[in-house]
Amino acid sequence: MRAYAGMSQRDDDSGGAIRQRSGWLIPVAVFLVTAALSALFLLYYLAPTPNSFIEEHPSPTARADPIALSVDELKLVIPANYIVYSSARQGGPRKEVALAAKLPDMRGYSDWYASTFADNGPDSPVVYLLIREDRLNMSEVQRLQRIYLAYVADPAGSSAPFGLTQYTFRDDSGYRGDDLFVGQTAKGPVVLLCVRFSADVPSPSCLRDVRLAHRVALNYRFKRTHLSRWHEIADGVDGLMDSFMQAKK
């Protein structure tokens, strides 16, 4: 009986030890699982993607050989000296293609004008263009009516120099640091969103966003000091795009 009693006592001691041990094992396990899940969450949302480790920088070239590429279903043939990034000069399907051209004749990069293309001063003659996929597929008129005019102080606008109509954004809008200009052409309106001159932005630009093809958009920007040439720039960009698209036909 004593042996049985001793065994029972040991069993009770072991059971108590197991219960004590399991009492602190469960919180520790919960803590470790929670910490692991938190780490995975942070890694997923905050860790840089592989592309962000090596950001591609502009690398212009004076080569003018034609590069065949496409954005969505739009096929283009673009001389290499217009294409800003070397990766896009490999051709083929692209989500977007960045280009640069120089006023007044919309020529591409050349070694002779290397310093001009590198200059970002307020009077820089370089026009930057971006052809990109655009699922919204919104026309310029739709963008004006649905987005911009919803935030202006006076939808009627006011007369501005260079044959433009100017709209002032409300102070409570996200565009309060910009001015909106609209010009009329035979092809339709030209809608320009221009950053205002300020101490923080001494070299502001104007941006135009248009539908180039189904699900493909084009935006281009130029320095605000060239606003008086908005019609010339619009015609130059149209001619440039026509030449890139006609080359494939």
Task: For residues 93-122, give the mean pLDDT.
Answer: 96
Whether the per-residue pLDDT at 169 is higher than 70: the answer is: yes
In a domain, 53, yes or no: no
Indicate the DSSP class of residue 88: G
Q: Are residues 128 and 204 in the same domain?
A: yes
- Structural domain includes residue 19: yes
38 shares its domain with 89: no
Q: Based on the domain organization, do 79 and 137 belong to the same domain?
A: yes
- 134-149 pLDDT, tens digit per residue, is 988 899 999 999 999 9
119 plus 221 within the same structural domain = yes
In this predicted structure, what is the pLDDT of residue 5?
Answer: 43
Q: How many domains does the chain have?
A: 2
In a domain, 170, yes or no: yes
Name the residue with tokens 């971006």: 130
pTM confidence score: 0.76
Give the residue numbers spanning the domain of 12: 2-47
Spatial separation of the C-alpha atoms in residues 63 and 66, rounded to whole Å: 9
**Do residues 231 and 163 make contact, with C-beta atoms less than 8 angstroms apart?**
yes
pLDDT at site 46? 36
168 plus 223 within the same structural domain: yes
Residue 4 has pLDDT above 50, yes or no: no
54 lies in some domain? no
Q: What is the pLDDT of residues 198-246, one digit of tens each?
A: 999 999 999 999 999 999 999 999 999 999 999 999 999 999 999 999 7
Is 52 domain-assigned? no
Q: Which residues contact 227 (CB under 8 A, 6 or more apart)?
A: 162, 164, 181, 192, 194, 206
- On whether the CB atoms of residues 82 and 110 are closer than 8 A, the answer is no
State how far the Cα of 116 lies from the Cα of 76, in Å rounded to an integer: 26
Q: What is the pLDDT of residue 71?
A: 97
Whether 199 maps to a domain, the answer reads yes
Whether residue 70 sits in one domain with residue 24? no
* Residues 18 and 40 placed together within one structural domain of the fold: yes
228 and 131 fall within a common domain: yes
Considering the domain architecture, whether residues 21 and 103 belong to the same structural domain is answered as no
Q: Are residues 37 and 76 in the same domain?
A: no
72 — pLDDT class (breaks 50, 70, 90): very high
> Left if phi > 0, otherwise alpha if psi is -120 to 50, otherwise beta: which for 106?
left
CB 37 within 8 A of CB 45: no
141 and 68 in one domain? yes
| Same domain as 130, residue 39 | no
